[in-house]
Amino acid sequence: MPGLDRNQSIRPHAPLGRVIVAIAGSLFAALLIVAWAPAWAQAEQQPREGPYFHIASSEPGIDRLPLKGTQVEVRIVGPIADVRVTQHYRNEGQRPIEATYVFPGSTGAAVHAMTVRLGERVLDAQIREKQRARLDYDAAKKEGKTAALLDQHRPNVFQMNVANILPGDDVAVELRYTELLLPAEGRYRFVYPTVVGPRYHVPGSEGGLSSFPATAHLPEGTPSTTAFDLHLRFASPLPVHDVVSSSHRIEVQAEDSPGAEVALAPADDGQIPANRDFILEYRLAGGATAGGLTLYPGRAGEDGYFLALIEPPRTIETVQINPREYIFVVDISGSMHGFPLDTAKTLLRHLIGGLRASDRFNVMLFAGSNRMLADASVPATHANAERAVAILDKIQAGGSTEIVPALERIAALPKTADLARTVVVITDGYVTVEERVFQLVRGNLGRANVFAFGIGSSVNRHLIEGIARAGQGEPFIVTRPEFAAREAERLRRMIEAPVLTSVRAHFEGLDVYDLEPARLDALPDVLGARPVALFGKWRGEPRGQLVLQGQTAQGDWQQVLPVTTPDPDAQALRLLWARRRIQQLGDEEALIGGNARRDAITALGLRHSLLTQYTSFIAVDQIVRKPQAALDLASVNHPLPLPQGVSNHAVGAAVPSTPEPAAWLALLVTLGLVGAGIAHVRRHR
């Protein structure tokens, strides 16, 4: 080449030589990461004392699938749903069995009754302290009596044990619960969960702090043999319309009338799917909500109960919005593999893309470890948003779900004084450390509003709703990618324009006590168009009024509800008050640690005949049907289908080439350095 010394033409320039060495080192590091990832995933994803795959047994004479069907009857009166669940167990084998079935429930359910039908006999279950109920159940099992035991492992996870189901037996276990339905933006939603997702669990022998029943799951794509059906009817004061389900096919009769009815319709394969939550949404005529003040006179010898549903003002856009800092905490563990992570990425694109340039943001990815995308929050410019989304698009899911260390790191992040912080947690919630998470959020993230997005068809709503409650935020559930934009927009509206702040309430003329929330002079801000719900007891004469006050974007706001005549048919208020009080005590217990509220929760459960973490329902047939039954009684854990969209990776299968967050980000950075080095070499040729 003209003007170029021959030796120079073959000897690299000194800085260029260092670049080549750096490229070689970076490539070597990238290869190590890729080679290391599958081995890590294989070791980390081995099943623990939690979810495991159901394997058909070759042992003869045992019916391994004893739960034949679940029938659900729902009646909705105003804002209260009364639900009757019937589980049918039948032993089609040749040996007596004890069936164990872990199943979900609504997070707000007040489970207040259980009966067992065995042939012509009907057994009414009794509520008892949990340990005593277990002892009585074990004794009945050994004596050869048919018995049923219902335990609560979480407010939304229950376990049914039915002992001594003899060959040919058909046993029907009926549960009753009630729950309160609160509308959001004028739209009501009823949810019936159908399956418990596999929970990541570290046993106590390995340093874990939680307990959870080992749950059997069918492999991905294996349909459940258990039939499922649901029928819902309204007894509404107003016509019901816009009745839709985003989860199942439904048939609606008498829509636009107060007595509308809903039934499930089979899918294309002729079955009614039971691998995802049943979700029903509807409106009342004229956009009305079932607000107002309702009084129940109470049973003989006790005071009355009340429920106040106070409709907040409509959202008003504010003119001046202060800049905010957003921290997105994203679960990329094995259970998020595939559809859930794809949905989370879609949600993040909308969330980050909707930020203003004056805002700042950061993203944490967590599985067994965690890593921030940036050392500190960055301005929400278009370029930064595009860069973050590009990195997220390359991430795959794999590994365990260590959410507590992730939130501990978020709590320790320095905060800019002039920026309000919002933390957004995005996960399917398949963990067993809910109480530890609530304690952490409530005790360490008080400087931020915490919102939780549940991703998937059967998320852990107890975790999602509990995080939002502890963090003074709101819960969101995104079941499909196409719903991500809508929910992201709903979050933006809530944060930018709170409906009601400085909320306080007081009664005039009515003697009230045992209130939930306990303090009416400092109620949480109303972030969405959702009624404020107040529970409590009352005594004396039913007179006076309830006054609610607060601040809106336009100034002072007040609403007055007159005290009405007590309704003797509103006995559900007694159960709902007790359920809300138990929830509050559970929150306090999570904050304090240990079993600090055991006695109070147990007393409420026994007095109101409610299932709690410390009380259980037990029914025992007094007829000895199988002497020495324990000698040949086979134990059967009825398997659950994997939730729709959840892969085998959630249970413990190895995930090929799925590094932890730190490995993913290091790999992406390494590849970026390689690309930059190659470009540098080309420029110096």
pLDDT in tens, 111-125: 999 999 998 899 999
The predicted pLDDT at position 204 comes to: 62
Rounded to whole angstroms, how far apart are CA atoms 396 and 57?
A: 34
- State the pLDDT at residue 18: 56
pLDDT at residue number 234: 96
Q: State the Cα–Cα distance between residues 341 and 367, nearest whole angstrom.
A: 12
Instruction: Render pLDDT for 574-589 as a digit per residue (tens, 0 to 9).
Output: 999 999 999 999 888 8
Distance CA(308)–CA(2), nearest Å, equals: 91
Model confidence, pTM: 0.85
According to the model, what pLDDT value does residue 633 have?
Answer: 87
Domain 324-496, CATH 3.40.50.410 — does that match?
Answer: yes
Q: Which pLDDT does position 38 carry in this prediction?
A: 38
pLDDT attached to residue 665: 55
Pick from 668, 675, 298: nearest CA to 514: 298
Is residue 299 a contact partner of residue 307, using CB atoms and an 8 Å limit?
Answer: no
Contacts of 500 by beta carbon, 8 Å cutoff, 6+ apart: 312, 313, 525, 526, 532, 550, 551, 552, 557
Pair 548, 505: CB distance under 8 Å:
yes
Domain segments of the chain: what residues?
6-44+662-683, 60-287+615-637, 292-316+501-606, 324-496
Q: Do the beta carbons of residue 119 and residue 171 sit within 8 Å?
A: no
Q: Which residues does the chain have with pLDDT short of 70?
A: 1-49, 57-58, 203-210, 288, 290, 315-321, 445-447, 627-631, 652-685
Q: What's residue 14's pLDDT? A: 45
What pLDDT, on a 0 to 100 scale, did the predictor assign at position 39? 36
CATH number of 60-287+615-637: 2.60.40
